[in-house]
Structure 1
Amino acid sequence: MPIPIIFLVLFAALLHASWNALLRSGADRLWSMTVMCIAIAITSVVAAAFMVPPAIESWGYAVLSALLHVGYNLFLVRSYRVGDLGQVYPISRGSSPVLVTLGAAVFAGESITSGELLGIALVSGGIISLAFRGRSLSVPSLPYALGTGGFIAAYSVVDGIGARLSGAPLAYTVWMCALWGVLMPVVYIGLRDTRSLFCVRPGTVTALVGGLVSLLAYGMVIYAMTEAPLGAVSALRETSVLFAVLIGYVFLGETLTARRILACAVIASGTLIIG
């Protein structure tokens, strides 16, 4: 994998961990996520106005990805309702690289070297191990965290294929994100109401900034997927859990044990092998 792509994905991982920490620290996470999506929609629509549309072959993938992103949003919010960042995030992010690798092999016809496969396994295993407490994996929101990982894998494969067919990965990104950003408020209104969505609350600015950060991070990842194998990109992206562990420790009061430090070392080793 080209060195510039590696650093691009690692920077996207840092951004991704940052907005997840913002979401986890919010009082009303469904509202925060929806406000983030509004920021994503507005920014994407403005950007799309200055771009040539992606190739028509990619439009179906963009629609499917937007729907999958909404499902991801709902599962992630539900996961954080009863789980902490240090457990939910590793499970949801750690379960996806292997699924992405399998999906890319089946649907995109990708092959992967034994070294890359080993690196992906180390990254995924190291990430999931961060969620353990002693020898047990006691996470009240485990089904939702695993479901979140499934959605991540699904939209990653869909976007990887769609971006390659689009002929313009950046245009594909903003069109897909514009649709996703419009769908999420519709879902929120269906679940709650219009008034509570558009009222100004503490954290509004934080949520809007989080949406912009999320858009930037995922745009980087989609571009990387057009230049490198989907599974390897996904595994590198999920090193965001390293940043999440540090953010959870420094800002959210979560514990950092010797086991977690060892798991981080395993993840770093897998990253080096992939690179």
Structure 2
Amino acid sequence: MTLTVFLAVIFAALLHAGWNAMVKGGGDKHLAMAGVVIGQGLFAIPVLAVAPSPDPASLPLMGAGILLHLGYQLFLLAAYRSGDLSQVYPLARGSAPLIVAAVSVLFLGVTLAPLQIGAVALIGLGIMSMALARRADGLRNRGAALLALTTGCFIASYSLVDGLGARVAGSALGFYGWLTIGNMLGFVAIAALRWPATLRRVPRHGLKLVFLGGGASFTAYALVIWAFTQAPIALVTALRETSIVFAVLIGVFVLGERMNLAKVVSTMLTLAGVVLLRYVRHGP
């Protein structure tokens, strides 16, 4: 992974943490998700005007990606209704890179150096251990833990499909732009059937999420999609999930949350994995 790709993914992680903080801080999670998804689609329109068209061979992967993103978004909303997702969400974000790395090595023929595997493991375990920083009983709630791990499977699945699709497409932005439009149309159709009142509130109460959240989310994942075409998907996925470190820092320094020893240890484990990921490439 080159320094340019590394820094691009780190910046994407920061953007990801930012828009997730906006969603977390809002009272209506359905409105927040609708605003962000619609915003992503709106930002994709001007990009498609200049991006090369994706190779038609990538269309099946694009369709699968749209379905996986929709499943992830709907499942995430269901998880919010089931309990305090902040207790178990680290399990989802931390398990995803571990799943992607395992699938990549065992089934896709990707070769990772032992230190790269160690870096991915450190990042994944560091993120997952943040669940221990919560005093609530999220880890003892089997249903909540199952929701988190299933969410991790969705994240891992769309990461692999999107990464492979962008490579086949020959145009990372073209592929992601059309995938985003499809995702937006699918989400709006579902929302119109299930939460029509929420959808009608977006123009009046969700414009901040549309433009700020949607813009940050689109830019963040566009960088990640591009990175998928430049480096192993497993390494990019692991590095992207360090967004949770930025989320912790935002919580402490912006939202006034407490930093305890468990959070410090988890953050240090994750950052150790990030440093190791760079060391593998540029170390002696």
- Shorter-chain TM-score category? over 0.9
Paired position in structure 1 for 2:236: 233
| Distance apart, 1:173 and its partner CA | 1.1
State how far apart, in whole Å, the 2-side matches of 1:45 and 1:162 are: 19
For the Cα contact (< 8 Å) 2:39–2:209, is it kept in 1?
no
SS at match of 1:95: helix
Correspondence list, 1:106-121, <5 A:
106-121=106-121
Letter in 1 for 2:84: G
Correspondence list, 1:58-73, <5 A:
58-73=58-73
Bigger CA drift: 151-160 or 55-64?
Answer: 55-64
| Distance apart, 1:209 and its partner CA | 1.5
Match of 2:186 among 183, 198, 221: 183
Pairing 1:223–2:222 present: no
For the Cα contact (< 8 Å) 1:97–1:234, is it kept in 2?
yes
SS at match of 1:266: helix
Paired position in structure 1 for 2:90: 90
For the Cα contact (< 8 Å) 2:68–2:157, is it kept in 1?
yes
SS at match of 1:210: helix
Pairing 1:212–2:211 present: no
Letter in 2 for 1:75: F
SS at match of 1:131: helix
- What is the TM-score when the length of structure 2 is the normalising length? 0.89
Correspondence list, 1:108-257, <5 A:
108-132=108-132, 133=134, 137-138=139-140, 141-193=144-196, 195-199=197-201, 200-257=203-260
Alignment root-mean-square deviation, CA? 2.0
For the Cα contact (< 8 Å) 1:33–1:207, is it kept in 2?
no
State how far apart, in whole Å, the 2-side matches of 1:236 and 1:196 are: 34
For the Cα contact (< 8 Å) 2:85–2:144, is it kept in 1?
no
| Distance apart, 1:138 and its partner CA | 3.6
For residues 157-194 of structure 1, give each alpha carbon's deviation from its aligned partner in whole angstroms, at most 9, with x where no partner exists.
0011001111111111111111111111111112122x
| Distance apart, 1:84 and its partner CA | 5.1
Paired positions, count: 273
SS at match of 1:255: coil
State how far apart, in whole Å, the 2-side matches of 1:53 and 1:154 are: 24
Letter in 2 for 1:172: F
State how far apart, in whole Å, the 2-side matches of 1:208 and 1:134 are: 35
SS at match of 1:130: helix
- What is the TM-score when the length of structure 1 is the normalising length? 0.92
Letter in 1 for 2:153: G
| Distance apart, 1:9 and its partner CA | 0.5
Gaps of 5+ in 2: 279-284
Percent sequence identity is 36
For the Cα contact (< 8 Å) 1:68–1:155, is it kept in 2?
yes
Correspondence list, 1:14-33, <5 A:
14-33=14-33
SS at match of 2:18: helix
State how far apart, in whole Å, the 1-side matches of 2:67 and 2:200 are: 22
Paired position in structure 1 for 2:35: 35
For residues 119-149 of structure 1, give each alpha carbon's deviation from its aligned partner in whole angstroms, at most 9, with x where no partner exists.
0111111110110147972457322222211
Question: CA 1:138 to 1:255, structure 2 compared with 1: closer, same or farther past 3 Å?
Answer: farther
State how far apart, in whole Å, the 2-side matches of 1:77 and 1:153 are: 18
For residues 40-62 of structure 1, give each alpha carbon's deviation from its aligned partner in whole angstroms, at most 9, with x where no partner exists.
11221332133331001111111
Question: CA 1:173 to 1:107, structure 2 compared with 1: closer, same or farther past 3 Å?
Answer: farther
| Distance apart, 1:109 and its partner CA | 2.4
Letter in 1 for 2:122: L
Pairing 1:55–2:58 present: no
SS at match of 2:52: coil
Question: CA 1:259 to 1:95, structure 2 compared with 1: closer, same or farther past 3 Å?
Answer: same
For the Cα contact (< 8 Å) 1:91–1:128, is it kept in 2?
yes
Letter in 2 for 1:209: L
